[in-house]
Structure 1
Amino acid sequence: MSTTATLTQTENDLILRAARGQPTERVPVWLMRQAGRYLPEYGEFKLKHNVGFFDMVKTPSMACEITLQPLRRFNLDAAIIFSDILVIPQVLGMGVDVVEGKGVIFDFLLQTPDDLDKLHQDADVVRDLSYVMDAITMTRHALNGQCPLFGFSGAPWTLMKFMIDGGSHSPLPKARKWLVTYPDASRKLLQLLCEKVVDYLVAQVKAGAQILQVFESCAGELGPDHFAEFSLPYLKDIAYRTKEKLCETGFEPVPMVVFAKDAHFAIDDLSNSGYDVVSLDWTINPTHARRIAGKHVTLQGNLNPCLLYAKEGELKSAVKTMLQRFGTQRYIANLGHGVHKDVNPDNVETFVNAVHMFSEDINATS
């Protein structure tokens, strides 16, 4: 793994300050899935090198280049390393690929608890995912202090769902059926994934990640009771153990963000789960979320990604309303989910610039 000893001090630390609850002169902004298919340069890069998705993820120089592409276009306040949540199932022995027109393809799925024996449960994620850490270190050097760099991981329940259902959408609720039919095996799998996620996140910080996001993208389908039993305890464990392990090895803990999509019922619990930031999808009312979350946690989100299809005036108006509802402190602007692949990059630029402009105006008059 490359050394991080000579990394440049970050000049734009707006996101780090917002995450820690410190005053910010404007609202910081970044986008989930901000590097990728909506950018023409991404398509050109992929075509030029004739490589698949995971080939790019596993080649640090390529992952670094793709991470930097949106930073060259937009005045973003953070980069997020180009990778994928499914690298952990891969390390555990599941073949995973992304096929154009078909989406995510697994070479096998978990069907019964006996299939847990097929997993490489003693896999060393720090060693086996060293390409992610190398990409993080390389990108930190390439950013040269421009803005902070996000590391990330999928959360245990979301990873479990992919490993059983084969994706985020399934005609049958096979993963949720596991929770009811095989509760002990489900906990065993979730605990295994939790341990791997903690090790992975700690290694990302050691490699140079300055802020972390945990994606519980399939949270909403659990409902309140199953979320409280099969998601929240592992999310908490990840937050506390990641920070604890960093302290034990002499590293300062970095801010951590949790994104539990569609978990409207859990805003209070998430706000007291050990994370510095709670990210919200677009179906949650900002005023309601702020009231429930309280003043001790930063919120992130939650513009409807479809508004990036809107006309310029409509998009700007939506951004202004969002800022007025969330307020400009303890807040990080983002979408309520990822950028859609057919979005016009010019609209992303409008969104980013509008966040900065309107939040500066609000701060100047408040």
Structure 2
Amino acid sequence: MSKLKNDTFLRALMRQPTDYTPVWMMRQAGRYLPEYNQTRARAGDFLSLCKNPELATEVTLQPLARFPLDAAILFSDILTIPDAMGLGLYFAQGEGPKFERPLREEWEIRDLTAPNPYEHLGYVIDAVKEIRRALDGSVPLIGFSGSPFTLACYMIEGQGGTDFSTVKKMLYQRPDLLHHILAVNAQAVTDYLNAQIEAGAQAVMIFDTWGGALSHAAYHEFSLRYMQDIMNGLTRKKDGVDIPAVIFTKGGGNWLESMAAAGCDALGLDWTVDIGVARQRVGDRVALQGNLDPSILLTDPDTVRAETAKVLASYGSGHGHVFNLGHGISQFAPPENAAALIEAVHSLSPAYHL
């Protein structure tokens, strides 16, 4: 593998000195880019795009051809694991992901096992290898997975965006069943991320999209605990090089101190948290990644630059900040606004790294 030409992102995650604040965007390979939509049309549908390593590589690289980003993120979906468990993932037109066989019966839950990533998720591992080759050491590659709790929400509810009543009923009435699902998911995520690292991922991120829907006690018992188990089981060094790990709980602003103690190198922040306050709360225990409101990219380049400046100023001087959005980029964001964001970070941030 080629030596990295730009390792700013990795150094920032490890809170090492950098000349500027590195930037990438959640969902940076996505529907806001015309070239992505063309490739997706060629693939036939979203799932076919995910399962084709050649096309997944193509779309992973598209934002990097357009923008001077400091990292690439594997193009895939968080629901590859439950799909590999046989739950029948499909995407309804305009309705997002659904499962044909959600987990409702006790015997189904007891029968659940973690899939072997090399057997059942080989297309993802092949994509990681292919993307690393194509990047040729230009920037690092981020691998990722959904969190055990977020995966469980989809696996039990059968779809996303619900009020989670089925999951929460199980959580309070049959916590033993939910804990079983979460333990299997934690093992599956650990195996999956380690396989991505083995294939060439240079940092990994856990997306806990629905953890913020939990009460204080439930978050610690049913979400954070299992992400901590994953942190304990991850490969954190490969060929003598650190593999940083990021935890991102959307809506997790109440629990930053607990998250910072979970064994990760960095926390992803959504846009509801002031990054300067977050920095004060977690101290120098972890780096911070975030956290511009994605809606700002629906405005205009001048507004984008002004709001980007505010996030940089709030974090302040010093290292350990990876600039990102507080969630994924909107499909309606004009690409020129994404360009303005990246240019603003690169031009304004060196003043904070003197």
| TM-score (norm: length of structure 2) | 0.96
Q: 1:356 to 1:54 in 2, by over 3 A?
A: same
**Cα distance in 2 for residues equivalent to 1:260 and 1:112:** 28
Q: 1:43 to 1:122 in 2, by over 3 A?
A: closer
**Cα distance in 1 for residues equivalent to 2:159 and 2:349:** 37
Q: What letter is aligned with 1:155?
A: S
Q: What letter is aligned with 2:327?
A: H
What residue number does 2:80 align with?
87
**Cα distance in 2 for residues equivalent to 1:95 and 1:232:** 27
**1:22 paired to 2:16:** yes
Structure 1 stretch displaced more, 170-179 or 57-66: 170-179
Report if aligned partners of 2:202, 2:244 keep a CA contact under 8 Å in 1.
Answer: yes
Matches within 5 A, 1:236-247: 236-243=228-235
Matches within 5 A, 1:313-324: 313-324=302-313
Q: Which runs of 4+ in 1 moved over 6 A?
A: none
What residue number does 2:296 align with?
307
What residue number does 2:167 align with?
175
What residue number does 1:98 align with?
91
What residue number does 1:4 align with?
none
- The Cα RMSD (Å) is 1.5
1:234 Cα deviation from its structure 2 partner = 0.6
Q: What letter is aligned with 2:321?
A: Y
**1:333 paired to 2:327:** no
What residue number does 1:66 align with?
59
1:168 Cα deviation from its structure 2 partner = 2.9
Q: 1:172 to 1:150 in 2, by over 3 A?
A: closer
Q: What letter is aligned with 1:347?
A: N
Report if aligned partners of 1:281, 1:335 keep a CA contact under 8 Å in 2.
Answer: yes
Matches within 5 A, 1:1-366: 7-47=1-41, 49-117=42-110, 119=112, 121=113, 123-171=115-163, 173-243=165-235, 252-327=241-316, 328-364=318-354
Give the aligned length: 353
Structure 2 residue matching 1:296: 3-state secondary structure:
coil
Deviations 1:273-312 (A, max 9, x none): 1100001000011122111111121000010000001222
**Cα distance in 2 for residues equivalent to 1:23 and 1:330:** 8
Report if aligned partners of 1:168, 1:218 keep a CA contact under 8 Å in 2.
Answer: no
Structure 1 residue matching 2:130: 3-state secondary structure:
helix
What residue number does 1:3 align with?
none
Report if aligned partners of 1:256, 1:277 keep a CA contact under 8 Å in 2.
Answer: yes
**Cα distance in 2 for residues equivalent to 1:361 and 1:296:** 23
Deviations 1:207-228 (A, max 9, x none): 0000000011111111211011
**Cα distance in 1 for residues equivalent to 2:173 and 2:134:** 49
**Cα distance in 2 for residues equivalent to 1:262 and 1:128:** 32
1:85 Cα deviation from its structure 2 partner = 0.7
1:325 Cα deviation from its structure 2 partner = 0.8
**Cα distance in 1 for residues equivalent to 2:103 and 2:117:** 20
1:127 Cα deviation from its structure 2 partner = 1.9
Structure 2 residue matching 1:15: 3-state secondary structure:
helix
Q: 1:25 to 1:172 in 2, by over 3 A?
A: closer
| TM-score (norm: length of structure 1) | 0.93
Report if aligned partners of 1:206, 1:251 keep a CA contact under 8 Å in 2.
Answer: no
**Cα distance in 1 for residues equivalent to 2:37 and 2:30:** 8
**Cα distance in 1 for residues equivalent to 2:211 and 2:222:** 10
Structure 1 stretch displaced more, 308-317 or 272-281: 308-317
Q: 1:139 to 1:50 in 2, by over 3 A?
A: closer
Report if aligned partners of 1:93, 1:118 keep a CA contact under 8 Å in 2.
Answer: no
Report if aligned partners of 2:203, 2:245 keep a CA contact under 8 Å in 1.
Answer: yes
Q: What letter is aligned with 2:53?
A: P
Q: 1:133 to 1:172 in 2, by over 3 A?
A: closer
1:122 Cα deviation from its structure 2 partner = 5.3
Q: Structure 2, unaligned stretches of length 5 or more?
A: none
**Cα distance in 2 for residues equivalent to 1:180 and 1:252:** 42
Structure 1 residue matching 2:234: 3-state secondary structure:
helix
Deviations 1:9-53 (A, max 9, x none): 111000110011100100000011100111100111222x25111
1:172 Cα deviation from its structure 2 partner = 5.3
Q: Structure 1, unaligned stretches of length 5 or more?
A: 1-6
Deviations 1:124-179 (A, max 9, x none): 12321111111111111100111000000001000000111123311551111111
Structure 1 stretch displaced more, 147-156 or 251-260: 251-260
Q: What letter is aligned with 2:208?
A: E
**Cα distance in 2 for residues equivalent to 1:9 and 1:278:** 26
**Cα distance in 1 for residues equivalent to 2:53 and 2:38:** 18
**Cα distance in 2 for residues equivalent to 1:171 and 1:144:** 44
Report if aligned partners of 1:243, 1:253 keep a CA contact under 8 Å in 2.
Answer: no
